[in-house]
Structure 1
Amino acid sequence: MHRFTCIFILFSPLVLCCLALSQPPSEPETHPKVMLLHSYHESNPWDISVEEGIRDALADEYYIPDKNITLKSFYMDTKRRTSREWKEDAGKMAREAIDRLQPAVVIALDDNCQEYVVRPMGKAGWAFVFAGVNRDPEEYGIISNRENPGGNITGALERERFPESLAFLKRLVPEVKRLALISDASPTGAPVVQRIKALAPAHGVEVIASLETDDFTAWKAFVTRVQNRADALAVVVYHTLRDDSGAHVPAEEVLAWTTAHSRLPDMGFWPWAVSQGLLCSDAISGYDQGYYVGTITSYILGGQSPGDFPVAAPRTGQPCINKARADELGLTVPAHLTKTARLFPAMTARATFSSPPN
């Protein structure tokens, strides 16, 4: 049960009048409304990059927030608060927010939105455009045909660039043959792990060990165990781990511990993972995901049906290297890669951690 504290303050008629005069003017009814429904939280780097792409796409189609469009955000915060009870409560609050706003389009970001909002509301007539979906959308029952969705739902799939990221890693460490694979146990991580395992043999590597866990102690034991067995470590997502007391462990702390205690070259699949300390990635672009669905949203606002647009998976990659991690591992970054890749110079602070194993 959630407890809310209400504070009542008595105002004089004069104060009430002043407050009323200070309120912003009501939004013109002619402005279309769009809700940005986030599975995660406001400071999450993925959400920030996707929203930037959405806003730029809308602006390029002459939809300017607060001028001729109303854009509202709702954050379900399911990456830091991971219990089923919280997700159900957050989904209920999101559905109620949609009912209150009455938006022309709901842009629903990432998998938990699909499970707890789009699935139960999909047949109610709302126009939904999803992005950042790692599972197959058919599993949620929100579409049945990707090429011709029909109806009121379409969107963009988020697909990790494993073959491209592996090829990029091999440009830094050509001898990689044995891969260890680790992820948290979130809805984001599970399908990525499955796809990597299926693709690895065709790309010349063997997944010699893998782990999906929300237990930070188990995570640390796995990283330690594979040091002498693997040639490289693939880190998927690391945002839902908890310590032995059940407290959420910040993602930056998980990755800082991992890179401080591992001598394996490591790769991720998003730019923020490299910025936080992993060696490299040919990364998924959250901005491109956002720009794609923002463009579709503008067409829907112009009168087209969501079902007219096929479900797509934007494939533009963003090569990234963490130069500090390369230096730490004793790797030389070829000069031509420094000209084409995005370089991150810093590592996550490690003041609380011991030195990596020898």
Structure 2
Amino acid sequence: MLKPMKLIALMLACSVSLVVAAEQKSVAITQIVEHPALDSVRLGVKDELTEQGFIAGKNLKWQYESAQGNPTTAAQIARKFAGESPDVIVAIATPSAQTAAAAARNTAIVFSAVTDPVGAKLVKNLEKPGGNITGTTDMLPVKKHLELVKQLVPNIKTIGTIYNPGEANSVTIVELLEKVAPELGIKVVRSAATKSSDVLTAARSLVGKVDAIYLPTDNTVISAAEAVIKVGEQNKLPVIAADTDTVKRGAIAALGFNYYDVGRQTGAIVALILNGQKPGDIPVQGVNKMELHINPGAAERMGLTLPEGILEIAKEVIR
């Protein structure tokens, strides 16, 4: 039989355990592939949650799994997380968001780095998403990107783009590119790559056909961006990216989002849900902050002379 003091201590310990359990929240991250832009999103989510008091290993259970570019693996991760019922599933990039939405009907889902949430059938309405899902969209300002390309390559007539036809976000961007480009007197040449190992061949197929290559925020392509950059350097063919992280990897320039900031914005939405708000009541958020990143060394290697004064207006110059 327990003595009174030991019994009280045991009761207090149990009480503390119950309080901790009640306060513990859980977030599960699914990411289609690992590359700097998406990794920055994940870091931004975690940092924002930490700042708002949800600290991994303390009062937050944090799980992360990457599908390594494999849609089948993404579906397996989504089903696993759905079975575990975390407080929030964070799905980074369109393929992971689609598999999470299909698998987890009763769990809050926050997507990030999704170009076209409506086109991807994640939500019907950006302002009133309803249901169990919301998030942030990184819909690209394609016309501004083409204006930058024309500034960098003034005599451009044709632009090549590499994309995965299986990624809904990429199809949306390429279609928008083809719609906007004629307004600037530019013809678009598509080159498809259904997996990362196809990207080099897709890039080579554009040599001699285009005056520059534009890399959209296609997860398959960006995960193998170095292959395209190699082709650009070997053939003096300028490569311009849609995301700023690819400029550090050797693209000439990008006018894009800082994906860490996208992650912080996504993390703020996750925090709202952890604090009791329903995902369907939170509007899908766009990203308004744009940054110009320039890599002069990459321009030189690809035989491009940068316009005078462009380095002065860049947010970041990669040396």
Q: Say whether the fold is shared (TM-score over 0.5).
A: yes
Query: Aligned partners of 1:95 and 1:322: how far apart in 2?
Result: 41
> Given the alignment of the two structures, is residue 193 of structure 1 paired with residue 167 of structure 2, yes or no?
no
Aligned to 1:334: 308
Change (3 A) 1:92 1:314: same
* Aligned match for 2:185, one of 202, 205, 215: 205
Q: Alpha-carbon deviation of 1:333? A: 5.1
Aligned to 2:13: none
Change (3 A) 1:26 1:198: farther
> What amino acid does structure 1 have at the position aligned with 2:235?
S
Query: Aligned partners of 2:77 and 2:104: how far apart in 1?
Result: 13
8 Å CA contact retained: 2:82, 2:107: no
Aligned to 2:272: 299
Q: Give deviations 1:20-57, integer Å, cap 9, x for gaps.
A: xxxxx99941211111121223xx21222101221232
Q: Give the match's secondary structure for 2:207.
A: helix
8 Å CA contact retained: 2:292, 2:315: yes
8 Å CA contact retained: 1:268, 1:280: yes
Q: How does 1:158-197 map to 2 (within 5 A)?
A: 158-187=138-167, 188-197=169-178
Aligned to 1:50: 41
Aligned to 1:37: 30
> Given the alignment of the two structures, is residue 70 of structure 1 paired with residue 51 of structure 2, yes or no?
no
* Aligned match for 2:317, one of 343, 347, 351: 343
Query: Aligned partners of 2:223 and 2:130: how far apart in 1?
Result: 40
* Aligned match for 2:208, one of 225, 232, 237: 225
Query: Aligned partners of 1:259 and 1:219: how far apart in 2?
Result: 12
Aligned sequence identity (%): 23
How large is the RMSD of aligned CA atoms in angstroms? Answer: 2.8
Aligned to 1:311: 284
Q: Give the match's secondary structure for 2:227.
A: helix
8 Å CA contact retained: 2:74, 2:95: no
Q: Alpha-carbon deviation of 1:306? A: 0.8
8 Å CA contact retained: 2:135, 2:285: yes
8 Å CA contact retained: 1:321, 1:344: yes
Aligned residues: 297
Q: Give the match's secondary structure for 1:211.
A: strand
Q: Give deviations 1:259-284, integer Å, cap 9, x for gaps.
A: 22332332110122222222111023
Aligned to 2:11: none
> What amino acid does structure 1 have at the position aligned with 2:113?
G
* Aligned match for 2:95, one of 77, 91, 112: 112
Q: Structure 1 stretch 49-58 or stretch 333-342: which is displaced more?
A: 333-342
8 Å CA contact retained: 1:238, 1:254: no
Q: Alpha-carbon deviation of 1:240? A: 4.0
Q: Alpha-carbon deviation of 1:303? A: 1.1
Aligned to 1:264: 237
Q: Unaligned 5+ residue runs, structure 2?
A: 1-16
8 Å CA contact retained: 1:36, 1:106: yes
Change (3 A) 1:210 1:27: farther
8 Å CA contact retained: 1:169, 1:281: no
8 Å CA contact retained: 1:110, 1:132: yes
> What amino acid does structure 2 have at the position aligned with 1:178?
T
Aligned to 1:354: none
Aligned to 2:8: none
Q: Give deviations 1:290-315, integer Å, cap 9, x for gaps.
A: 11111011111111111121112213
Q: Unaligned 5+ residue runs, structure 1?
A: 1-24, 82-86, 242-248, 346-358
Q: Give the match's secondary structure for 1:233.
A: strand
> What amino acid does structure 1 have at the position aligned with 2:65?
F
8 Å CA contact retained: 2:41, 2:260: yes
8 Å CA contact retained: 2:38, 2:93: no
> Given the alignment of the two structures, is residue 235 of structure 1 paired with residue 215 of structure 2, yes or no?
yes
Query: Aligned partners of 1:117 and 1:264: how far apart in 2?
Result: 39
> What amino acid does structure 2 have at the position aligned with 1:65?
A
TM-score by length of 1: 0.74
Q: How does 1:114-129 map to 2 (within 5 A)?
A: 114-122=97-105, 125-129=106-110
Higher helix proportion (structure 1 or 2): 2
Q: Alpha-carbon deviation of 1:322? A: 1.3
Q: Give the match's secondary structure for 1:258.
A: helix
Aligned to 2:9: none
